[in-house]
Structure 1
Amino acid sequence: MSALALGAPAVTAHAETARPAITWQKCPSYSDDVLRSWGLRDTDFPKFKGLLGRTECGTLSVPQSYADPAGKQLTIALTRLKATGSRLGSLAVNPGGPGGSGYLMPIDLVMTGVELNNRYDLIGFDPRGVGASTNAKCPASEDDRPPPGPVTEELARTVYDSVIRSNRACASSNPGFFGGLTTANVARDLDRIRAALGERELSFFGVSWGTWLGTVYRSLFPERVHRMWLDSVALPVPRVDVFTQVRAEASDRDFQRMAGWLAERDGTYALGATKAEVVATLTEMRRSYDAEPLTFTDVDLTVEGRLIADMAGQPSVAWPELGQVLKELKDATGPTAPPTIKQIFGEQPPPPPADAPERRSQAANLAFFCNEDSGQRTFESAWNAYQKRLRDFPVTGEASVFFPRCAGWPLPVQTTRLRHSDGSLMLSGHLHESPSPYEWTLQTRAAIGGTLVTVDDDMHGSALRVPGCVAKVIDYFEKGRRTSTCPGVPVPDSAALPAEPLLRQSLSDRLGATG
């Protein structure tokens, strides 16, 4: 299906309304324990608190339904970090998700050395349904995680039935609110933020799902975009079945690169001297651990086939550490965990403090996906596709989702017509990444226009993590200079890198369809 064939927006994008007003108030404070839970070191606290001290926090009312602008209102929470130098305008930012909190993203960017704040007021916000904005929780759902071992059709049907019950309960608990969680409505909310700030045009930087938000905003309000950079570009046609399949294909491509890398270092990892040998070794490991899962007395971890599949699909920054893990698991028998397994999984991070604000909403993630999912949702379509992935990708296929995530979601699908325009836009696609495969960047460019930026790495959203690429992003926003390439995160040699947080996040999200 062409992205341009999707249905037209249900609401006129250019309807004139009175200028909305932001209610500015004192920003919330955060305990040191909360800051530590976000990964900040004690030495970072003074800088964070200094930036928070000059941040303005506000709220803005928006309609729950733009078809009924005078009806029920929602609250959008936003922040503004004013430019420190000669000001060019306002630059809104979004970290992805869907369901990710962007409220403190302006501070996050400055903390990591991204100096966009010199010329721009940085605007952070929590989309509707997230964090400090109006949100709602789904009723407690059943645990859909399968037990260790291969997924049988009977087990998959049990999970499918559970997903249907959970999705129906969530949507029906507050259908008016959950039905309004669409990217188009967030784009309209963002345009109200622009108007309330008194800006004729708005600049925007988005990552992952944030790129879909940027794509929709540019399609609805093309004349209101100053400059826009979208990194790790999302699928331009919201179909969860396609999303799952293309990600699985990209994950296997990345594993083939990993297998070649491990083969070149057979003296270190002993998994095979050729890529074919490494693939054969890991295929056998996945099958044997499915047949006989392994547990340890000193680490709360079950090693089974899905774990091997998940490890095989990780980006290159994790390869040195994963190579060592796989080497140890090749001959592991227990009862105690091998040293690298114990190092990575032995001491889990503590849960966030009770006063920590929500930085990712699972309910919003579900609603945004399912309200826009125009793909197949039957058990048969998902199960048959999963079985084909197991055949096509014998190492990584088991890590893919085997059920239609939006099965049973009862609210109507809402689509947005994408529009091609000539306004300033940069689209950075990462050649080897799997969360947002490179082909999605090419498809989005064909649908809406823009300048293609190719990043030679496999890292999701690395444009603001590599100094050379950061410099090009800043140069674009400050001077309008375009580029066709950006340096990426290099493939490591054999020196182990601190990949534990990446591994833990991947494992915790294994069955999720996050963006």
Structure 2
Amino acid sequence: MGGMMQPNRLTASAVLLGAVGALLAATPAAAAPDTSSGRPGAAVDWKPCPAYSEGALRALAPPDRLDQLKALLARLQCGTVTVPLDYRSPRGRRITVALTRLPATDRAHRLGSLALNPGGPGGSGYLMPLQVIIQNDANAGLNTRYDLIGFDPRGVGYSTKVDCPPPAQRPERVIGTLSKDQARQLYSTQVAETAACGDYDPSFLGRLTTADVARDLDTIRAALGERGLNFLGVSWGTWLGVVYRTLFPHNVDRMLLDSVAIPRFDLTSFDSGRNAAAERNAGRFADWLAARDSTYHLGATGIRVRAAITAMVADFDAHPRTFTDLPEPLDGSLIAQAAAVNHYDWDLAGQVLGELRTAAGPTAPPKTKEVLGGDDGGPQGPPPADLPEQSNQTMNHAAFCNEDTARPSFDTAWADYQRRLAANPMTGRTLRFSAGCAGWPLPPQPVRIGPGGGELVLVGHRWETPSPYEWTIQTQARAGGRVYTVDDDVHGSVLHEPACAADAVQFFNTGRIDAGCPGVV
């Protein structure tokens, strides 16, 4: 869902080579309010917080915020709550959910607890109260009158979890145009891996659902002694928020959801929506490049730039380019990734596209070499052993597949893939062929969201790809609430930009909020 707390400005190589990450989950089909709320007997088992090495701390905060992080850690309270694995069998297997609390600094005017979730599914929120505050000074206002509550969802980090064994061998990435026979082989491999994971501990993996995480969250609310819960979620955390509000309509005070998830979940709609949004934003990029044709030489009109990029995708797939100073050939997926970048990387991507359009080799053009072949300043060696888990892939896979009712055949998956490529000629190759949840051996457990209680603000970003703006409007039609529009293309940017963050703080403190903000400019 990826995590919300990762920097938005990705390194150039990650922007141009990394596939668009799966950050959200959302579903369809029937959820009544949960009558078991209240969780009598729930209690927090408070205990000393983990001690982190200097290496771990440096990985968690930039150098200029390191002292602030240490001061926040000194105030942090850590604990666990014990919950049923299956709420339908409260006397059965028990698991623990790890949580943190950063007490409000103005205790005399405290308003309650504000729970945080960064997305995923599978993202760790354990240290999110600290990470939110060190992002920018405006966010500290959230902690003035609220206890900030972080937690690792079941299946993640310090909470009870199960990790499926990694596959014995990963198939090599296909360079260039994917043939149907190659896709069939990928499909078979993915189905086998998915089936093996689901069979590893089915009683646990079958309870990695958004509804179960929502029930855990309500247990945390009761254990903290709160009559109502405030909540801020990003990406998949928005789906968790609307599911919680549907199940526990009387237990919500104020809720702000940033980069709203798709309101009717299936992986086909999920991927198609993201691809359409990427193509739309690439159209903006094409118009921007056209206005600067003397610099980038890709065409003097948006139509010509679109045609040039589309032709490059097809040409690089049919004839991948090999450069002696790059580690692997470049195909159409690289061109599509460059076309799909956020606006703050348009200049860089424009230079790369302009170079590659006429590159003859044998070595890579200078800007392409700088982005893809140079020293990008990445991490040296393995991460510190005590660095908290940032995301859990088993939880991510299980949460998606427990809620997606589709188990596509190969022919269906192949047809969907071909449709996406045809509908999105510039950016369709940003998503790879996938078997989806085919092979998942556990029955689907869909849930339908609906109206709930408390105050709800849904944050939509006008041009973003991971959570297209229309999903915000569609969710409002089902769940209600007010829409707050951010005029940027950056996923989950509200707490990254001080002006937007100030609006979020105002909402939680007063219930008032403006109609939107410029976002990342």
Q: Same fold (TM over 0.5)?
A: yes
User: Which stretches of structure 1, 4 residues or more, deviate above 4 A after TM superposition?
Assistant: none
1:376 is displaced (CA, Å) by 5.1
* Other structure's SS at 1:93 match: strand
Q: Cα–Cα, structure 1 residues 37 and 296, in superposed 2: closer, same or farther, change >3 Å?
A: farther
Q: Which residue of 1 aligns with 2:8?
A: none
State the secondary structure of the residue aligned to 2:495.
Answer: coil
* Residues 370 and 457 of structure 1: CA distance in aligned 2, closer, same or farther (over 3 Å): same
Deviation, 1:15, is 4.9
Q: How does 1:29-428 map to 2 (within 5 A)?
A: 29-38=51-60, 40-85=61-106, 86-113=109-136, 114-115=139-140, 116-141=142-167, 142-144=169-171, 146-345=173-372, 346-348=374-376, 349-350=378-379, 351-375=382-406, 377-421=408-452, 423-428=454-459
Give structure 1 stretches of 5+ with no counterpart. 491-515
Q: Matches of 2:391 and 2:210 in 1, distance apart?
A: 16
2:30·2:449 contact (CA, 8 Å) conserved in 1? no
Give the direction of change, closer, same or farther, for the CA distance of 1:305–1:313 in structure 2 (3 Å limit). Answer: same
Q: Distance in 2 between matches of 1:198 and 1:204?
A: 16
CA contact (8 A) 1:259 1:278 kept: yes
CA contact (8 A) 1:242 1:375 kept: no
Task: Output the CA distance in 2 between the equivalents of 1:17 and 1:329.
Answer: 60
Offset at 1:381?
1.7
Q: Give the alignment's Cα RMSD to 1 decimal.
A: 1.8
Q: What TM-score do the two structures reach when normalised by structure 1?
A: 0.91
**What's the counterpart of residue 23 of structure 2?**
none
Closer, same or farther: CA 264–69 of 1 in aligned 2, 3 Å = same
Distance in 1 separating the partners of 2:322 and 2:95: 48
Q: Give the match's secondary structure for 2:199.
A: helix
Q: Is 1:146–1:155's contact at 8 Å kept on the other side of the alignment?
A: no
- Structure 1 contact 89–202 (Cα < 8 Å) conserved: yes
1:74 Cα offset (Å): 1.1
User: Is the aligned partner of 1:455 residue 2:486?
Assistant: yes
Deviations 1:55-82 (A, max 9, x none): 0111111111001111111111111001
CA deviation profile, 1:410-468 (whole Å, cap 9, x unmatched): 10111223221353000011111110011111111111110111221111111112222
Q: Equivalent residue of 1:481, what SS?
A: coil
Determine if contact 1:4/1:419 at 8 Å carries over to the other structure.
Answer: no
- Which residue identity is paired with 1:371? N
Partner of 2:475: 444
Deviations 1:333-390 (A, max 9, x none): 3343333233333225224233322101111110000000023522222211211222
CA contact (8 A) 1:26 1:57 kept: yes
Equivalents in 2 of 1:27, 1:6: separation in Å? 40
Structure with the larger RCO, 1 or 2 (CA within 8 Å, 6+ apart)? 2
Mapped to 2, the partners of 1:282 and 1:59 lie a distance apart of 52
Give the deviation of 1:228 after TM superposition.
0.2
Could you say which residue in structure 1 is the equivalent of 2:13?
none
Which secondary structure does the structure 2 equivalent of 1:294 belong to? coil
- Alignment of 1:465 onto 2:488: no
Report the AA paired with residue 394 of structure 2.
Answer: A
Residue 31 (structure 2) pairs with residue 8 (structure 1): yes
CA contact (8 A) 1:23 1:58 kept: yes
Aligned-residue identity in percent: 50
Q: Distance in 2 between matches of 1:5 and 1:30?
A: 41
The answer on whether the counterparts of 2:229 and 2:251 sit within 8 Å (CA) in structure 1 is: yes
| Contact 1:379–1:403, Cα closer than 8 Å, also in 2 | no
For 1:493, the equivalent position in structure 2 comes to none
Cα deviations by residue, 1:98-141 (Å, 9 ceiling, x for unpaired)? 11111111001110121211111000001001111111111212
Q: Which runs of 5+ in 2 are unaligned?
A: 1-25
Alignment coverage as a number of residue pairs: 486
Q: What TM-score do you get using the length of structure 2 for normalisation?
A: 0.90
